[in-house]
Amino acid sequence: MKMKRKKILINLLYGFIAVILSVVLFASLVFIYFARDLPRPERFMDSPTAEPTHIYDRSGNHLLYTIHGEERRDVIEISDIPPHFIDAILTAEDSNFYNHYGVDFQGIVRSAIANFQRGRTVAGGSTISQQFVRSAFLSAERTYMRKIREIILTLELERRYSKDQILEFYLNQIPFGHNAYGIEAAAQTYFNKPAKELSLNESAVLVTLVPSPSYLSPFGENVETLILRKDHLLNRMYQNDLITEEELEEAKEEDLEFSSFSIYLRAPHFVMEVKSQLEKKYGEEFLKENGLQVYTTIDFEMQQKAEKIIKEKAVNNYQHNAYNSALVAIEPNTGEILAMVGSVDYSSEPFPEGCIPGSTCKFDPYSNVAMRERQPGSSFKPFVYATAFQNGYSGDTIVIDERTNFGTVSNPYIPRNYDGQFRGEVTLRQSLAQSLNIPSVKALRDLAGLERSVENARLFGIELPRDASFYGLPLVLGGGDVKLLEITSAYGVFASGGYRNSPIFIKKITDKHGNIIEKNEPTLRRVLSSSIAEEITDILSDNSARAPVFGQNSLLHFPDHDIAVKTGSTQNFRDGWTIGYNSSLVVGVWTGNNNNASMINAPGIVVTAPIWREFFESFL
């Protein structure tokens, strides 16, 4: 009897072991079956995540633009994420994250009970590890097969990586809406700041977005719902002793300042030119995926000041039928562009309604007039006078201001001075300072020479693509089209004492690890003697010589500073110019209409000098 009972117990033990082994074998086979085609967790580390190219100002403190593909993602380390953001995401998504092994069975049970009681899905049981696996490696299908694969890969993920690594993976992966993936891209998109600078309140907002980024978007119609849910999350953090009552109240009272869509693009005309240069050199797809860090030459504060002044002053020019303006500021000793405004307001609608941008609009916000060819009027004169000085003449050389036909009887060319008067004998100093037209044409014909003046302008950086004969004597009065950037840079030759510096848009480019892959240095090239550069500067800053036409207290005069400046206007007032400089800054301003419509009684001193004056004054 005892032997029989012992045999039964042994058989039961063998049977139990067999069942256990069968279960283990079955589980192993299931694991092998579902895991055979799974991507390995280390793929997230081994395969580089596509990272966008960032374009910054010269300091690197202000993000101007991001070039990205379908997903905008900026990978950062967990040490750069504020602790209160981590507390918020764990409170909302996985409060037991640091205690489970990837799958929280207690959480699954709690979610099932809550969903059963409500009669609908109100809570999920997925851990942060599962959410990451699902987002990074699996499809969005809802099947038992996919769930099994998800659990298997989650367990493998937890075995291979620490909790902090998994949390870092997750926070760099999850979508926050508007193509922002990961916490860094979300912080930049919604608050225009890096993640490490997020406040408690801002962190709670971003965490609240995670379940429904489209529905709760702060740029959408459900902002009130977003704020209510955010406050609920803050209350939970307080109840869990993650924040104090004082921190709770301060967070709720904090004013939220969401970015506008326009914040995605700062210094827009300048940035679009930089983007074009980068695409030509590196290719569009490379820029979207390889995380270049582009440090431009733009001085962000100066750029903001320029945009503000042009926008405010534009209103005053409407009375002159002038609807657009552009500004360029350059550091003459390096060629670095410090500010570039290509139109009155990049975010505005074209004027008037119904026009076709680029052809019939008086104001086209997107066209960068700083890079468009326009006639420079009298602002071209200094280059001709500099050429005359190279030929041995000086500011004291006498020319006769009188009615003159520079053409023929059958084809006359009889220019007039701005005020219609003749002054008889004048010096080149007086002629240039007062912008007299007849003596300037004589200076080109008799003293400088057309061929050499065109050659000099090209040396200074102005592209005059045609033969000198095409431009003829009207060249000195602005008969050759120029770009605002070119002519402003060319004035830099006078400001730098005779050196030519090509305009520079980009200071340096690094890869995502900070290694320098491109660095632009100034390319100094002497194109004019320092004595002649100084003589031109002396004339253009001589208020007494300028006064007979412009007055003693014009907008061009700075009593406490030596500022050289020249205005320009074209025939029928289609273009107005003011370009001025000192040894540290060259500023050029253009005003007119995109469709070349004439302004009304609007010389450069009227429509551009107020803009130039206020900007230069802010710099001084």
Range in 17-21, 122-126, 341-345, 540-544 with the lowest mean pLDDT: 122-126
CB 158 within 8 A of CB 102: yes
Residue 577 φ/ψ, nearest 5 degrees = -135, 150
Instruction: Give the whole-angstrom CA distance, residue 538 versus residue 428.
Output: 12
- pLDDT category at 149 given cuts 50, 70, 90 is confident
Query: Scanning the structure block, which residue is given the tokens 């040894």?
Result: 583
Residue 506 has pLDDT above 50, yes or no: yes
Q: Which residue has the higher pLDDT, 68 or 588?
A: 588
CA distances for 141 relative to 64, 71, 103, 154, 437, angstroms: 38, 21, 19, 17, 77
The pLDDT value given to residue 124: 54
Q: Give the mean model confidence (pLDDT) for residues 3-18.
A: 64
Instruction: Give the whole-angstrom CA distance, residue 521 versus residue 498.
Output: 18
List pLDDT tens digits, range 38-64.
555 455 455 456 678 999 999 999 989
Residue 63, token pair as written in the block: 């993000």
Q: 378-480 maps to which CATH number?
A: 3.40.710.10
The pLDDT value given to residue 180: 85
The pLDDT value given to residue 102: 72
Residue 285, token pair as written in the block: 């797809």
The pLDDT value given to residue 107: 57
Instruction: Give the whole-angstrom CA distance, residue 615 versus residue 620.
Output: 9
The pLDDT value given to residue 35: 54
Average pLDDT, the chain: 86
Q: Give the mean model confidence (pLDDT) for residues 468-475.
A: 93
Instruction: Give the whole-angstrom CA distance, residue 70 versus residue 53.
Output: 13
Strands 53-56 and 293-296: parallel
Report the run of H or E that residue 56 belongs to, with start and end: strand 53-56
List pLDDT tens digits, range 87-139.
999 999 988 888 887 777 665 555 555 545 555 444 456 888 888 887 776 65
Residue 347 has pLDDT above 70, yes or no: yes
Q: Give the mean model confidence (pLDDT) for residues 1-29.
A: 63
The pLDDT value given to residue 590: 97
CB 369 within 8 A of CB 324: yes
CB 91 within 8 A of CB 232: no
Strand locations in 116-197 (E):
175-177, 180-181
Instruction: Give the whole-angstrom CA distance, residue 242 versus residue 501.
Output: 57
List pLDDT tens digits, range 576-586.
999 999 999 99
Q: 68-263 maps to which CATH number?
A: 1.10.3810.10
- pLDDT category at 360 given cuts 50, 70, 90 is low
Q: Give the mean model confidence (pLDDT) for residues 364-393.
A: 94
Q: Give the mean model confidence (pLDDT) for residues 415-440.
A: 94
- pLDDT category at 67 given cuts 50, 70, 90 is confident
Strands 482-483 and 324-331: unpaired
Q: Give the mean model confidence (pLDDT) for residues 10-33.
A: 62
Handedness of CA 137, 142, 146, 148 (dihedral sign): positive
Instruction: Give the whole-angstrom CA distance, residue 83 versus residue 203.
Output: 10
List pLDDT tens digits, range 281-330.
998 888 888 889 999 999 999 999 999 999 999 889 999 999 999 999 99
- pLDDT category at 260 given cuts 50, 70, 90 is low
pTM flag (> 0.85): no
Q: Under 8 Å CB-to-CB from 493, ≥6 apart: which residues? A: 332, 460, 461, 499, 500, 527, 528, 533
HEC-encoded secondary structure of 474-514: HHHHCCCCEEHHHHHHHHHHHHCCCEECCCECEEEEECCCC
Range in 176-180, 209-213, 537-541 with the lowest mean pLDDT: 176-180
Range in 212-216, 258-262, 548-552 with the lowest mean pLDDT: 258-262
The pLDDT value given to residue 158: 83
What percent of the chain has pLDDT above 70?
84
The pLDDT value given to residue 546: 95
Instruction: Give the whole-angstrom CA distance, residue 93 versus residue 87.
Output: 10
Instruction: Give the whole-angstrom CA distance, residue 34 versus residue 138.
Output: 12
The pLDDT value given to residue 47: 46
Residue 470 has pLDDT above 50, yes or no: yes
Q: 299-376+483-512+519-620 maps to which CATH number?
A: 3.40.710.10
The pLDDT value given to residue 332: 97
Range in 215-224, 256-265, 292-301, 486-495 with the lowest mean pLDDT: 256-265
Range in 20-24, 269-273, 369-373 with the lowest mean pLDDT: 20-24
The pLDDT value given to residue 334: 96
